[in-house]
Amino acid sequence: MTLLLYTAGSDRTIWLDALKHSFPEARIDDWPSARADETDYALVWKPPADLLRALRRAKAIFNLGAGVDAVPDAAVLAREVRLVRLEDAGMAEQMAEYVVHAVLHCYREFDAYVEQQRRGEWLPRPRLAKSDFVVGILGLGVLGRAVAAALAPFKFPLRGWSRTPKRLAGVETSHGLAALDSFLSGVRLLVCLLPSTSQTRGLLDRARLSRLPRGAYLVNVSRGALVVDDDLLALLEDAHLAGAMLDVFHDEPLPATHRFWHHPRVTLTPHVSAVTLIEESVAQIAAKIRRLEAGLPIGGIVRHEHGY
């Protein structure tokens, strides 16, 4: 078996060691490689277009992340080649930790208590009604469902929105663009877990974010491209939105001059909400390769027509 590993320069040695451990018999090529057109399976992160063109005969290309927006578009990637994304592989637990933290932080008004402490104020705040603190999750895929499950014990009213209909115990679900405005109205904390596709980029603009009630929060843990930054800043500045917790940005690292850095209502983290775990990822990919070699179906195949 021949494998090709391209990690855009990050952690190559660790990936290589994990791969050698799972496939001791395989030849593992690097890129550029004269032999890419002989590759059976490629593992890639942020692959250049030339590499994808060279992989037209591969049995599958595994993306080393859950989102495939860094893979050049379908025009480059031959439609007959399977592109496979990571499904959870240790990311769901991390995402659940991050979002549960964000929800509890906002609901229990920890920012207000930090300010009170700075002012030396001992002032218990009235408890917010939980039944009014609706948490809305955009995207009910692997990660959105894990987040909903992690929030369930806290008994917030949960809403979820997806492209196709979904049934999820304890979550009021809706789907499709036509239902989005009514989904957003009444949501006190919006979690964005949608992939970045031609359908979702710029989805959270001023009009959509204004559907959230005054005092709502945004938590974006999927991709920066989903949000129109200037619209978000305008709504934070006129206090329509109480705050935003952002892990992902249009440009990463976030440019030093970006207004998010020092905005008092923005908390930001450097794209760490759920990182790819090498051991778990290689184990998942190895299991899928074994299934493909045995002629069995696998999950996580990207549908070119939907872009995720």
Ligand X SMILES: NC(=O)c1ccc[n+]([C@@H]2O[C@H](COP(=O)([O-])OP(=O)(O)OC[C@H]3O[C@@H](n4cnc5c(N)ncnc54)[C@H](OP(=O)(O)O)[C@@H]3O)[C@@H](O)[C@H]2O)c1
Report whether 28 contacts 18 (CB < 8 A).
no
Report if residue 158 touches ligand X, rule: CB under 6 A.
no
Q: Which residue is nearest to ligand X (CB)?
A: 141
Q: Between 31 and 144, name the residue whose CB sits nearer to ligand X.
A: 144
Report if residue 200 touches ligand X, rule: CB under 6 A.
yes
Report if residue 173 touches ligand X, rule: CB under 6 A.
no
SS3 202: coil
Q: Given the rule CB under 6 A, which of 7-15, 48-56, 162-170, 204-212 is the region that contacts ligand X?
A: 162-170
Structure token pair of residue 1: 């078996």
Q: Which of 271, 290, 291, 306 is catalytic?
A: 271
Among residues 149, 145, 146, the alpha carbon closest in space to that of 162 is found at 145
- What are the residue ranges of helices labelled H in 34-141? 49-54, 91-107, 110-118
Cis peptide before 253 (omega within 30 of 0): yes
For residue 131, the one-letter residue type is S
Give the Cα separation of 261 and 255 in Å (integer).
Answer: 9
Report if residue 282 touches ligand X, rule: CB under 6 A.
no
Q: Between 36 and 148, name the residue whose CB sits nearer to ligand X.
A: 148
Structure token pair of residue 274: 């759920």
Q: Which CB contacts under 8 angstroms, 24+ apart, belong to 117-124?
A: none
Q: Between 36 and 218, name the residue whose CB sits nearer to ligand X.
A: 218
Report if residue 142 touches ligand X, rule: CB under 6 A.
yes
Report if residue 308 touches ligand X, rule: CB under 6 A.
yes
Among residues 40, 38, 37, the alpha carbon closest in space to that of 53 is found at 37
Min CB(256)–ligand X separation in Å: 21
Q: Between 222 and 284, name the residue whose CB sits nearer to ligand X.
A: 222
Site for ligand X in 178-197 (CB under 6 A): 193-197
Of 91, 151, 190, 212, the one binding ligand X (CB under 6 A) is: 91
Give the Cα separation of 304 and 308 in Å (integer).
Answer: 7
Contact residues for ligand X, defined by CB under 6 A: 66-67, 91, 139-144, 162-164, 166, 193-197, 199-200, 221-223, 247-248, 271, 273-274, 308
- Which positions are annotated as active-site residues? 223, 271
